Amino acid sequence: MTAVIELGDRIAGLTLAEAVELKTYLSREYGIEATAWPAERTEQIEPDVVIDPAATEFDVTLSGVDPAKKITVIKTVRELTGQGLAEAKATVERAPQVLARSVPAEQAAAWQAKLEAAGGTVAVTAA
């Protein structure tokens, strides 16, 4: 039981980026897929993204989408970008796509957290 508690504590202490990396590893190596979070949980996510402190503007790129969560990602893209349904669907289906260019670090981190919670894979790069 002690090993389980230690493992749980280590998982709970992961940053958002580390959690995504763990999800990808478990999916690739063992076929384990993470379950979707309830909608009310996505609003409580605190962005925990490592961003280059020297850079002040960033590009947010949707790199990929979990096929099972495509609709949720489309809704999130619409919410963040203001795109219509058809345009957001096309954006998601053509990933990788830049969603925002030269945005402040806080906005880039918030967008990354929301998109990853919805099931997208996101890259934040210095502009």
To the question of domain 35-126 being in CATH 3.30.1390.10, the answer is: yes
How do residues 101-111 score in pLDDT, each as one tens digit? 999 988 999 99
Nearest 5°: CA angle at 126, between 64 and 16? 55
**Assigned token pair, 100:** 């925002």
How do residues 55-69 score in pLDDT, each as one tens digit? 788 999 999 999 999
- pTM, full prediction: 0.57
In whole angstroms, what is the distance from residue 63 CA to residue 77 CA? Answer: 13
